[in-house]
Structure 1
Amino acid sequence: MSNNTPFAPWNDEAAVPLIQFDGVSKKYGDFLAIDNIDLKIYPREFFALLGPSGCGKTTLMRMLAGFEEASAGKITIDNKDMAGIPPNKRAVNMMFQSYALFPHLNVVDNLAFGLKRSRMAKSEIDGRVEEMLRLVQLQKFAKRKPHQLSGGQRQRVALARALAKAPKLLLLDEPLGALDKKLREETQFELMDIQEKTGTTFVIVTHDQEEAMTVASRIAVMDHGKLVQIDTPDRVYENPNSIYVAGFIGDVNIIEGRVSHLAGEEAQLCWAEGTSDIRGMAGPKIQKGEEAAFAVRPEKVALSVQEPIERNNRVAGRVEDIAYLGNMSTYYVRLENGNLIKSQVANDRRISRRSVTWNDQVWLSWSDTAGIVLPSGGNPS
């Protein structure tokens, strides 16, 4: 594959998936944890399962690992039906949030543990361990025990151990959850770099939207055992297929109304008496005359003292609150009809010099393509 060719096997009909779910469901008694899921994950993907607690993402991963059996449907890995195949017979490894390192073994012995239980020759084991140490840049810490390492270093040991046997698929269950914010952000890029170097398919379970957006080639957003949307991070963010996805990924303003006009990719929303209709992109399955909601990201909403007459989408309001976040500020603006709209503005000047403050009358505006009109309610059918 040339460097100029984007990695997108999911758009290639001839591409063969490494993982395939066909009509997979999982029940625990009367509780339906996974609801009739179809999914394809391709070799070399960094695939994220994203959703709130209890949405089914960990159950889905445990079925891939072999710790749970599907109640219905079929799971294949590398074209092999996984029904009845135990975890140790799958070309899969799993890295747990707890890391599960052996406290009495040093880094080298932790890495070698799984290899020694395989039929690999000792000379090969030594070479593989050295290779893994280089991969995660821990050569200087080879003789240390886990308690002598930082959280980030323990995380890298666990990752190296999981990769040592060269699995075709690595499952990562909230792998960065125990790290502080700054270290977690640094480690995300290390994970991406290691995944690219090894060519291993990674599937990560996370409830952290930023983490999924940073590392994944594609994201599957889950809710109540269903896959709500599967797409690239930019499309999940810019083109959510439901109010649920729009609200779950990042920050968003939601304005409810009724579709007054629909033409191709354009839609208009009638939303408040005495105001102009909002113009936006037409989302999936909206119909003229039906209730709908307009979703627009705060960073796409401009804030100004003067009325921006050149824009169709413009509303007046009063600054009710300001959240200072260092690199940006979020302005909470109360409109005359009671709606509260957020506008995110980059702090390109000192806070003492900003021109807008609490209780100021301001205008909010956005372009005709900044937001999207989506069906009212939660998930698409």
Structure 2
Amino acid sequence: MGQTEFEPWNDPQAKPLIQFRGVTKRFGDFTAIDNQSFDIFEQEFFALLGPSGCGKTTMMRMLAGFETPTEGTILLGGQDIAPIPPNRRAVNMMFQSYALFPHLTVWENIAFGLKRDRLDKESIKARVAEMLKLTRLEQFASRKPHQISGGQRQRVALARSLAKAPKLLLLDEPLGALDAKLRQDTQFELMDIQEKTGTTFVIVTHDQEEAMTVASRVAVMDHGRIVQADTPARIYEQPNSVYVADFIGEVTIIDGTATPEGDGYEITHAEGLPPLFVKTDKSFARGQACHLAIRPEKVAISAEKPDGRRNMLRGRILDIAYLGNISTYLVELPNGKIVKAQTANTRRLANRPFTWEDEVWLSWSDTAAVLLEG
């Protein structure tokens, strides 16, 4: 599902599957969710992203029916779900621990919920076969959970959760127990399965890369509020606050004051250093405090002074992080500020132009940085 064809949130006619309306959740004096209203659409892969304690799990537990809102309503398909007990909701939840039955085979684990719903034998058989095929577990059907790998157990839990064809599947840190390489493979599998089934997925994660990889939209949370909910590309390229810019990916934040100049703003940021320039459609008052957020891959690093760029800073290489395909340079400006620059490693190590302590020039285009309010 390319981003171009699937954007129901931009369609005023599209009816959301889930609607949060002024939802607040308090535990005693503590406000876990603070008056939130937002929509999730059918067939979306929606990620709730944020640090521990930001409220993302509470949000999910309310959808599952393990918690009820203190104020406000949650609608599923236009119906208030508060009075509906968890087992009667068209919602299933996959737990971080997978919660598989150790004494049952993979086949029996997947069939468990269908048997409880008293489906006939043939229907159960057909549905389990379909789920085994979807999650590529056919050859493991007769094994017990302890006889298969962590990644396979994860797929069994997914197959079991999808067997009852829920309208909504909730995934709580589903890849937390997997190692890095397996996590990456499983992320693509999840996207593939979500697309094939058309089920709406809501994933809770604190892993920004995971959220950015799998989701159609990411909701970045802080202290019980969604700070920004948007496509991964927009969250990365057009964060609406320093918090979001800083939370997602690598970034350098330069504090300064804005002065209107032509089609953008000049940013005075340090005594004795030339001002920076940024094009933006946001409006700032003269002398207003602001923050310039610049991604390291948008910062060019060169030995010679670059021509024809308004944004140029001289500095010294303090540190180099070598990550195989890319190198990140930490460059210290004369005022002690550190700016990150990133280059793709197209040459072998021995032929790289820069090393520690080198004096270098950093530069970027007028549209590369994002100007955020102070």
- Per the TM superposition, whether the score is higher than 0.5 is yes
Cα deviation per residue 1:57-108 (whole Å; 9 max; x = unaligned)? 0000000000000000010001110122110111000000000000000000
In the aligned structure 2, how far is the partner of 1:267 from the partner of 1:101? 57
Matched, 1:307 2:300: no
Cα deviation per residue 1:353-376 (whole Å; 9 max; x = unaligned)? 111111111000011011111012
Matched-pair contact (CA < 8 Å) for 2:258–2:268: yes
Deviation at 1:232, TM superposition (A): 0.3
Q: Residue 371 of structure 2: which of 370, 373, 378 is its match? A: 373
Superposition map of 1:349-360 within 5 A? 349-360=347-358
> What is aligned with 1:194?
193
**CA pair 192-4 structure 1, distance change in 2 beyond 3 A:** closer
In the aligned structure 1, how far is the partner of 2:159 from the partner of 2:265? 50
In the aligned structure 2, how far is the partner of 1:278 from the partner of 1:209? 29
> What is aligned with 1:180?
179
Deviation at 1:282, TM superposition (A): 3.1
**CA pair 235-148 structure 1, distance change in 2 beyond 3 A:** same
> What is aligned with 1:119?
118
In the aligned structure 1, how far is the partner of 2:200 from the partner of 2:194? 7
> What is aligned with 2:23?
24
> What is aligned with 2:345?
347
Identical columns (%): 64
CA RMSD of aligned residues (A): 1.4
Letter paired with 1:74: T
**CA pair 285-153 structure 1, distance change in 2 beyond 3 A:** farther
Letter paired with 1:370: A
Matched, 1:137 2:136: yes
**CA pair 120-110 structure 1, distance change in 2 beyond 3 A:** same
> What is aligned with 2:243?
244
**CA pair 176-193 structure 1, distance change in 2 beyond 3 A:** same
Cα deviation per residue 1:180-208 (whole Å; 9 max; x = unaligned)? 00000000000000000000000000000
Secondary structure of 1:365 counterpart = strand
Matched-pair contact (CA < 8 Å) for 1:69–1:84: no
Matched-pair contact (CA < 8 Å) for 1:262–1:287: no
Letter paired with 1:79: G
Matched-pair contact (CA < 8 Å) for 2:3–2:216: no
Secondary structure of 1:124 counterpart = helix
Cα deviation per residue 1:40-72 (whole Å; 9 max; x = unaligned)? 000000000000000000000000000000000
Deviation at 1:120, TM superposition (A): 1.5
Cα deviation per residue 1:7-55 (whole Å; 9 max; x = unaligned)? 0000000100000000000000000000000110000000000000000
> What is aligned with 1:206?
205
Q: TM-score, normalised to structure 1's length?
A: 0.96
Matched-pair contact (CA < 8 Å) for 2:280–2:367: no
Deviation at 1:263, TM superposition (A): 6.2
Deviation at 1:285, TM superposition (A): 6.6
**CA pair 285-96 structure 1, distance change in 2 beyond 3 A:** farther
Secondary structure of 1:18 counterpart = strand
**CA pair 218-112 structure 1, distance change in 2 beyond 3 A:** same
In the aligned structure 2, how far is the partner of 1:262 from the partner of 1:22? 42
Deviation at 1:5, TM superposition (A): 5.5
In the aligned structure 1, how far is the partner of 2:117 from the partner of 2:306? 69
Secondary structure of 2:317 counterpart = strand
Q: TM-score, normalised to structure 2's length?
A: 0.97
Secondary structure of 2:139 counterpart = helix
Matched-pair contact (CA < 8 Å) for 2:260–2:284: no
Deviation at 1:273, TM superposition (A): 2.1
In the aligned structure 2, how far is the partner of 1:267 from the partner of 1:220? 29
> What is aligned with 1:334?
332
Matched-pair contact (CA < 8 Å) for 1:103–1:146: yes
> What is aligned with 2:104?
105
> What is aligned with 1:89?
88
In the aligned structure 2, how far is the partner of 1:61 from the partner of 1:281? 39
Q: Which consecutive residues of structure 1, in runs of 5 or more, have no partner in the other structure?
A: 377-381
> What is aligned with 1:165?
164
Letter paired with 2:50: G
**CA pair 111-207 structure 1, distance change in 2 beyond 3 A:** same
Superposition map of 1:216-255 within 5 A? 216-255=215-254
Deviation at 1:326, TM superposition (A): 1.1
**CA pair 4-295 structure 1, distance change in 2 beyond 3 A:** closer
> What is aligned with 1:290?
288
**CA pair 216-284 structure 1, distance change in 2 beyond 3 A:** farther
Aligned residues: 374
> What is aligned with 1:362?
360
Letter paired with 1:329: S
Deviation at 1:339, TM superposition (A): 0.9
Q: Residue 265 of structure 2: which of 267, 275, 292 is its match? A: 267
Deviation at 1:287, TM superposition (A): 3.4
Matched-pair contact (CA < 8 Å) for 1:312–1:367: yes
Matched-pair contact (CA < 8 Å) for 1:282–1:374: no
In the aligned structure 1, how far is the partner of 2:266 from the partner of 2:79? 49
Letter paired with 1:175: P
In the aligned structure 2, how far is the partner of 1:222 from the partner of 1:195? 23
Secondary structure of 1:191 counterpart = helix
